[in-house]
Structure 1
Amino acid sequence: MGLLSGIFLGIAFGIGLMAGWNHMMKYRSNKRVSKAVDMKLLGTLNRDDLKKICGDNFPEWISFPVFEQVKWMNKKLGKLWPYVADAATMVIKESVEPLLEEYRPPGITSLKFNKFSLGTVPPKIEGIRVQSLKKGQVTMDIDFRWCGDPSIILGVEAALVASIPIQLKDLEMYSVIRVIFQLSEEIPCISAVVVALLSEPKPKIEYVLKAVGGSLTAIPGLSDMIDDTVNSIVTDMLQWPHRIVVPIGGIPVDTSELELKPQGKLTVTVVKANDLKNMEMIGKSDPYVVLHIRPVFKVKSNVVENNLNPVWNQTFDLIAEDKETQSLIFEVFDKDIGQDKRLGIVKVPLIDLEAESWKDMELRLMPALDMLKVKDKKDRGTLTIKVHSYSLVWVSLCYPRCLGILVVFV
């Protein structure tokens, strides 16, 4: 009898234990699901939403990082950098060296690389943000930092001056790079890549110039010339909306949709200037105006001799690709026997211009666009202009970098 009752009690206890365990597991599972739902809802809240919920108890240390850290990518890049640097060195030298002549400043007769190497220190990727995902295309913004040890020597020649090797040392670069991948069904699954530097935050490029076996003073203003050339190349070729399109893979692909296209036309009349700064020891300056949206497509007014209040009344047509990010630049120079001196500069963002209407503007000239580097901050006078902007929709333009694009003036 005792044996039977023991068996019965043991079976009952086992069933009860199993039932209790099953109930506890279901309870914990439901709690986990409930927490997961709550976490998902919290994940959709932004900083302002949490402040409304928490009120004064919201901790200020809570942040919402825009960029995702990719430490694993930096480790891989460090191992692959010797091979990446060799390949990039060849590509950069072959593509950039021909452009040095195109962007060569006045007063310099030759500008080329005597030596170019990216060094042994790899760049660092601080974070990556996926900007957009759409059919056949992925857009990423990469927070990029590089304090490298490249070996870059420029051969600079000027009139009546022998070639001077100029070394770029202590190069530092901080920027956000926009990369657009055009996807394909063929291996390697990427048919083309677009690379550009975002204008905001503004790319920061710092370096030190040092003459090898000579002095920078051999060519007056050489440092400023090289700085202007570097800034022009970066702004005109790499700063968004400008971009470099690189086809990938052995199959020919259509990259026309990735290329930068004209969106608008500006008709600009340079009317006059007043109270220009005199740069001459004897007589007065001989001013003229250079205007552009892209540095490589500059137009120039006539020279008005011996006049600090010149009148030009000349009209020019310029093409714009992106009114949101581009600007119209005016530079006033003094024509001289040697190097022309800049009297003043001013920038007009295209977004400030109204479409399909004339706008009269009196612009105050500045010594430089970046006033932090300027010691002489005295008044440089004013420039009077008229601007008319058009939208481009359909008509054939002889545009050096966009041949065959159809555009029409509305």
Structure 2
Amino acid sequence: AWPFFGQYMEKLLVENIAPSIRASNTHLQTFTFTKVDMGEKPLRVLGVRAHPGTHKKQILLDLNISYVGDVQIDVEVKKFFCKAGVKGMQLHGMLRIILEPLLGDVPIVGALTMFFIRRPTLDINWTGMTNLLDIPGLSSMSDTMIMDTISSYLVLPNRLLVPLVPDLHEAAQLRCPLPRGVVRVHLRGARDLRSKDRFMGGLVEGKSDPYAVLRVGTQVFTSRVIDDDLNPTWDEVYEFIVHEVPGQEVEVELFDKDPDQDDLLG
């Protein structure tokens, strides 16, 4: 299974992430992945859960995966003679595999569709990061922002389709299926938040300037900031497109807005 997952990652990086990176910044038009090696340490499957499909020709599998490996990925931006890379990575998350369509003959399954239900936890050991961030237009970025961007490419609605039979008629539909629906979220407010603001070297306790971040897959909404309030009321409404049921969830995080780095409230 590990070589198969390595092919998945290589295909994702080369065919999806690299073109998006090149299109995101004029200075990155010569960005390429020069080496993708997932190493010899395979990921571990900590658990498997099967769900009934939406129809009889489909099986849904959720794999709780954990990867702490010796991956090596090298990148190059030829325009600036810049080389950087990754040596070592950790990846933890829930990977969904859809077996569809089911056939009455070998190989029994016509295709595999893979994606992460939610953003996986990603920790990367960078090499040459300072060189990469010296490129014009990237100086304001951080390794955390880059990891968040990479994580988003692994999550719905992005999918990797692996056909197992030639001339699969359902390929286009499996690669880009119609959304399952829309969920409307009414963000009312919060109560008894923690005070994160400190003054006079921490001697005086203030309040917090809370805001909320709501996420479903790659869809993210951020509420307005309410100053000096531990019981904020936002009364805002958001709508998310739902691509997969069961599995997708609404994630809500609260932060305290600060001039330098925002604090997580919960």
TM-score range, shorter chain: 0.5 to 0.7
- The one-character-per-residue Cα deviations of 1:164-189 (angstroms, maximum 9, x if unpaired) are 75422112445664322112468865
Contact 2:208/2:229, CA 8 A, preserved across alignment = no
Contact 1:288/1:334, CA 8 A, preserved across alignment = yes
CA distance in 2, matches of 1:128, 1:272: 36
Match of 2:88 among 170, 180, 188: 170
Cα deviation, residue 117, structure 1: 1.1
Q: Partner residue of 1:334?
A: 257
- The one-character-per-residue Cα deviations of 1:173-222 (angstroms, maximum 9, x if unpaired) are 456643221124688654432224477xx966443123257498995882
Match of 1:209 among 123, 126, 129: 126
TM-score by length of 1: 0.42
Q: Partner residue of 2:75?
A: 153
Segments of 5+ residues of structure 1 without an aligned counterpart are 1-73, 156-161, 345-364, 367-410
Match of 1:96 among 17, 30, 33: 17
Over 3 Å counting, the alpha-carbon distance change for 1:154 and 1:290 in structure 2 is farther
The answer as to 2:165 corresponding to 1:246 is no
- Going by fraction, where is strand more abundant, 1 or 2? 2
Q: State the Cα RMSD in Å.
A: 5.3
Contact 1:331/1:342, CA 8 A, preserved across alignment = no
- The one-character-per-residue Cα deviations of 1:75-107 (angstroms, maximum 9, x if unpaired) are xx6xxx4x98568524432223355699x9xxx
Contact 1:273/1:309, CA 8 A, preserved across alignment = no
Q: Partner residue of 2:203?
A: none
Q: Partner residue of 1:403?
A: none
Cα deviation, residue 137, structure 1: 2.6
Contact 1:285/1:335, CA 8 A, preserved across alignment = no
Q: Partner residue of 1:316?
A: 237
Which structure has the greater CA radius of gyration? 1
Over 3 Å counting, the alpha-carbon distance change for 1:97 and 1:316 in structure 2 is farther
CA distance in 1, matches of 2:199, 2:75: 35
CA distance in 1, matches of 2:121, 2:261: 26
The answer as to 2:213 corresponding to 1:294 is no
Contact 1:126/1:144, CA 8 A, preserved across alignment = yes
Contact 2:61/2:97, CA 8 A, preserved across alignment = yes
Q: Partner residue of 1:61?
A: none
Q: Partner residue of 1:224?
A: 144
Q: Partner residue of 2:113?
A: 194
Q: Partner residue of 1:136?
A: 57
| Alignment of structure 1 residues 333-372 onto 2, 5 Å | 334=257, 341-344=261-264, 365-366=265-266
Cα deviation, residue 233, structure 1: 4.6
Q: Partner residue of 2:99?
A: 181
Contact 1:194/1:243, CA 8 A, preserved across alignment = no
Segments of 5+ residues of structure 2 without an aligned counterpart are 201-205
Over 3 Å counting, the alpha-carbon distance change for 1:84 and 1:132 in structure 2 is closer
Contact 2:207/2:229, CA 8 A, preserved across alignment = no
* SS at 1:150 equivalent: strand
Contact 2:89/2:124, CA 8 A, preserved across alignment = yes
Cα deviation, residue 315, structure 1: 1.5
Contact 1:181/1:194, CA 8 A, preserved across alignment = yes
Larger RCO: 1 or 2 (CA < 8 Å, sep 6+): 2
CA distance in 1, matches of 2:41, 2:194: 51
Q: Partner residue of 1:35?
A: none
CA distance in 2, matches of 1:261, 1:206: 31
CA distance in 2, matches of 1:131, 1:180: 10
Match of 1:264 among 183, 205, 223: 183
CA distance in 1, matches of 2:219, 2:99: 29
Contact 2:186/2:235, CA 8 A, preserved across alignment = no
Over 3 Å counting, the alpha-carbon distance change for 1:263 and 1:343 in structure 2 is same
Over 3 Å counting, the alpha-carbon distance change for 1:273 and 1:215 in structure 2 is farther
Contact 1:89/1:116, CA 8 A, preserved across alignment = no
Over 3 Å counting, the alpha-carbon distance change for 1:166 and 1:314 in structure 2 is farther
Cα deviation, residue 252, structure 1: 2.9
Over 3 Å counting, the alpha-carbon distance change for 1:277 and 1:266 in structure 2 is same
